[in-house]
């Protein structure tokens, strides 16, 4: 075990999903944040545990060629990004490895790994941002929380967001300060403005600004809305969400439109969508469209299938494939999202879709009991993955293929391993970078039903006594009688053939050929006569 403050030489040989470098010394693993594969450093141990330790860079002796100058002034303080100190290419390589390790090590699976699909534009890709508002030294500030804390790191020009978000924020914060709108004081639970929430349609350009406030404040916010709208014509929806609770959850239940429309419009994979602040919507539209493209490829739809889309959110995945299936069923737990999904279906003239609101496992179970047998099931669960009930119900419905989409490779690998036990092989895994520069990676998995293990083989059933478990006495007695009185050996198959011939009761599939092509020997006449004698003797005929 290492000692705190000990300085050790270290070479970084791997990276974790959240951007920490990993090196080994004397068989012990040391995690060092903000390092890169290939770095040679002197490392100061800051926390030592029996089998691993955490360290910081004491001095960087030879920097890795993967290193890049972080292009964000708050990278060190903010908890949003994990990979800004390495090139985007190196980040993609790490993410590919993270996904592969999860399936191999956690899942114990050996699928084919397709190369990660990186993002063409790793900057400004987000269509949504939620900035906490607070005060520092008497000034209203907004930005992001520091890692594992609620301390606001002021930042208005986050490089993950489109530049327009920064311009709008700067204008809004100036007005908020000038108009004396009180920022929320989280510690005391006082003040008015908790969050500024921005969402923009990637294709439409329509922009929504939602003020998350502790109490209704329409009157106070209206002049702010009007001033912003005059300056930013893209603002098609300004609304207020009231969240009085002292909680980490950003949005409260009640939302009111202040100016413009209640929703913004956008499109994804050619499906027109309406988005409210509550609706789940993939934050990187361009990559989400590619993700759905891979999912559709894996689903191999021909137009005759029933497709079940579990954890469907506003229905986007299923709706993007609706024209390629006979029937689409979506399941989602948030009522507003289900409402959005139904509206989205109607607005796109999609008439073959049904959406159910409820827990994926419970509804899937009910669908299975109702005899629903989808050909393909898409599952796109939240980070914690599917629960056992959902996995069981999915397997019970016996789809030919399952397409799993996940933002957490570890739980995806676990769930694939569970499905493996239930007859589904994990064939292909494709990582896709939906969240460049951050410690998150998405993956799409194709699982296929294993071929039916049942194969027809021609065997001489004479060798088997298939009856022994069911009616040993009777068949054995017959065999014994036949042997004793005619010296012939007869099989259970022959006995059942003769019984059937004589109209006696035998089990439905008892000693019948599995299908018409299987070869089943016929009882020779001599043996038939001997069996008939035995049956007479036992007064069965």
CA 325 to chain centre: 22
Part of the chain binding ligand SAH (CB under 6 A), chosen from 129-137, 305-313, 483-491, 510-518:
305-313
What's the CA gap between 519 and 514, in Å, rounded? Answer: 9
8-state DSSP, 532: H
We find the least distance from the C-beta atom of residue 369 to ligand SAH, in angstroms, to be: 17
Q: Contact between 334 and ligand SAH (CB under 6 A)?
A: yes
Instruction: Provide the token pair at 152.
Output: 């606001």
When asked if residue 313 is in the footprint of ligand SAH (CB under 6 A), the reply is yes
Position among 311, 356, 435, 481 found at the interface with ligand SAH (CB under 6 A): 311
Which one is catalytic: 81, 92, 407, 471? 407
Residue from 282, 285, 365, 438 that binds ligand SAH (CB under 6 A)? Answer: 282
Pick 239 or 393: Cβ nearer ligand SAH: 393
d(CA 166, CA 73): 14
DSSP H or E segment with residue 287: helix 285-299
Answer yes or no whether residue 111 interacts with ligand SAH by CB under 6 A: no
Distance CA 395, CA 390 (A): 9
Contact between 10 and ligand SAH (CB under 6 A)? Answer: no
Element (H, E) at 530: helix 525-537
Position of minimal CB gap to ligand SAH: 313
How far is CA 214 from each of CA 138, 195, 253, 312, rounded to the nearest angstrom?
Answer: 19, 10, 12, 31
* Residue 238: strand pairing partners: 209, 259
Cβ of residue 313: shortest distance to ligand SAH, in angstroms? 3
By the 8 A CB rule, do 481 and 534 touch? yes
Contact code string over 144-173 relative to ligand SAH, x by CB under 6 A: ------------------------------
Task: Find the part of the chain contacting ligand SAH (CB under 6 A) among 150-158, 235-243, 332-340, 475-483.
Answer: 332-340
The answer to whether residue 280 forms part of the interface with ligand SAH (CB under 6 A) is yes
Report the nearest approach of ligand SAH to the CB of residue 144 (Å).
Answer: 22
Name which position in 39, 305, 332, 442 contacts ligand SAH (CB under 6 A): 332
* 407 included as an active-site residue: yes
Q: Which among 135-143, 162-170, 327-335, 487-495 is the span making contact with ligand SAH, rule CB under 6 A?
A: 327-335
Q: What dihedral angle (degrees, nearest 10) is formed by the CA atoms of 473, 476, 481, 487?
A: -170
Beta bridge partners of 274: 265
For residue 380, the minimal CB distance to ligand SAH (Å) is 4
Q: How many residues bind ligand SAH (CB under 6 A)?
A: 16
**Alpha-carbon span 132 to 169, nearest angstrom:** 12
Residue 405 C-beta: closest distance to ligand SAH, Å = 7
Shortest approach of ligand SAH to residue 401 CB, angstroms? 17
C-alpha distances out from residue 277 to 75, 161, 244, 336, 519, Å: 28, 17, 17, 10, 66
Residue 316 is a binding residue for ligand SAH (CB under 6 A): yes
**Which tokens belong to 230?**
């005059």
- Helix, strand, coil in percent for the chain, rounding step 5: 30, 30, 40
Among the listed ranges 220-228, 313-321, 410-418, 477-485, the one in contact with ligand SAH (CB under 6 A) is: 313-321
| CA 32 to chain CA mean position, Å | 29
Beta strands 442-449 and 424-432, pairing class:
antiparallel
Nearer to ligand SAH, 158 or 331 (CB): 331
The residue range among 196-204, 331-339, 345-353, 501-509 that interacts with ligand SAH, by the rule CB under 6 A, is 331-339
Beta carbons of 364 and 372 less than 8 angstroms apart: no
Residue among 266, 305, 380, 442 that touches ligand SAH (CB under 6 A): 380
Ramachandran quadrant class, 534 (left: phi over 0; alpha: psi -120 to 50; beta: rest): alpha
**Residue 36 three-state SS:** coil
Q: Which is nearer to ligand SAH, 35 or 408 (CB)?
A: 408
Instruction: Judge contact between 179 and 222, C-beta under 8 A.
Output: no
Q: Which residues are identified as catalytic?
A: 407
**Which residues make up the interface to ligand SAH (CB under 6 A)?**
280, 282, 311-313, 316-317, 331-334, 337, 359-360, 380, 382
């Amino acid at each position: 075990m290492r000692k705190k403050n000990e300085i050790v030489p270290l070479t970084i040989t791997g990276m974790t999903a959240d951007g920490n470098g990993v090196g080994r010394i004397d068989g012990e693993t040391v995690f060092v944040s903000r390092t890169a594969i290939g770095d040679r450093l002197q490392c100061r141990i800051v926390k030592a545990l029996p089998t691993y330790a955490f360290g910081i860079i004491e001095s960087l002796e030879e920097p890795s060629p993967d290193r890049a100058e972080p292009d964000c002034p708050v990278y060190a303080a903010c908890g949003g990004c994990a990979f800004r100190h390495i090139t985007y290419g190196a980040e993609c390589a790490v993410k590919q490895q993270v996904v592969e390790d999860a399936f191999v090590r956690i899942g114990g699976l050996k699928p084919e790994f397709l190369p990660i699909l990186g993002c063409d534009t790793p900057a400004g890709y987000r269509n949504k941002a939620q900035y906490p508002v607070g005060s520092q030294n008497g000034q209203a500030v907004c930005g992001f929380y520091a890692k594992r804390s609620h301390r606001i790191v002021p930042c208005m020009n986050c490089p993950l967001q489109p530049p327009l978000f920064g311009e709008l924020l700067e204008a809004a914060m100036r007005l908020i300060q000038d108009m004396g709108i009180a920022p929320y004081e989280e510690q005391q639970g006082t003040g008015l403005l908790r969050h500024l929430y921005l969402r923009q349609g990637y294709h439409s350009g329509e922009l929504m600004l939602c003020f998350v406030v502790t109490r209704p404040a329409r009157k106070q916010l209206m002049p702010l809305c009007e001033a912003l709208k005059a300056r930013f014509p893209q603002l098609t929806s300004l609304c207020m969400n009231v969240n009085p609770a002292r909680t980490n959850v950003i949005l409260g239940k009640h939302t009111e439109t202040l100016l413009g429309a209640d929703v913004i419009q956008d499109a994804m994979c050619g499906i027109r969508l309406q988005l409210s602040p509550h609706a789940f919507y993939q934050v990187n539209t361009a990559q989400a469209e590619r993700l759905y493209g891979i999912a559709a490829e894996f689903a191999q739809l021909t137009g005759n299938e029933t497709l079940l889309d579990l954890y469907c959110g506003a229905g986007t995945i299923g709706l993007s494939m609706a024209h390629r299936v006979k029937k689409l069923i979506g399941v989602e737990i948030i009522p507003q999202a289900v409402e959005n999904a139904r509206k989205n279906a109607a607005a796109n003239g999609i008439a073959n879709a049904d959406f159910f609101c409820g827990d994926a496992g419970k509804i899937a179970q009910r669908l299975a009991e109702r005899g629903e047998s989808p050909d393909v099931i898409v599952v796109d669960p939240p980070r914690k993955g599917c629960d056992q009930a959902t996995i069981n119900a999915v397997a019970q419905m016996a789809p030919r293929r399952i397409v799993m989409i996940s933002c957490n490779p570890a739980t995806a690998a676990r769930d694939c391993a569970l499905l493996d036990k239930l007859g589904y092989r994990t064939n292909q895994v494709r990582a896709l970078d939906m969240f460049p520069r951050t410690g998150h990676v998405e993956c799409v998995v194709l699982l296929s039903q294993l071929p039916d293990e049942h194969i027809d083989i021609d065997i001489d059933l004479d060798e088997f006594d298939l009856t022994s478990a069911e009616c040993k006495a009777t068949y054995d007695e017959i065999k014994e009688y036949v042997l004793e009185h005619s010296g012939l050996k007869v099989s259970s198959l022959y006995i059942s053939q003769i019984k059937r011939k004589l109209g006696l009761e035998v089990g439905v599939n008892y000693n019948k050929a599995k299908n018409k092509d299987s070869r089943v020997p016929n009882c020779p006449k001599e043996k038939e006569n001997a069996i008939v004698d035995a049956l007479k003797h036992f007064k069965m005929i």
